[in-house]
Amino acid sequence: MINWSTDEVKFKKNSPKEYKLWRLTQMINYGLDGEKISLSEVKNSWKYINKKIDEKTKEYFEYLIWGTKPSSISISKNFSNLS
| Domain total of the chain | 1
Please check whether residue 12 lies inside any domain of the structure.
yes
Residue 19's pLDDT is: 93
The average pLDDT across 63-75 equals: 77
Residue 68's pLDDT is: 84
What distance in Å separates the CA atoms of residue 81 and residue 28, rounded to the nearest whole number?
24
Give me the count of residues in the chain: 83
Q: What is the pTM of this model?
A: 0.73
Please check whether residue 1 lies inside any domain of the structure.
no
24 CB neighbour count, 10 Å cutoff: 21
Domain coverage including residue 64: 8-81
Please check whether residue 2 lies inside any domain of the structure.
no
Please check whether residue 23 lies inside any domain of the structure.
yes
Please check whether residue 3 lies inside any domain of the structure.
no
10 Å CB burial of residue 28 (0-12, 13-18, 19+) is buried
Please check whether residue 34 lies inside any domain of the structure.
yes
The average pLDDT across 33-53 equals: 93
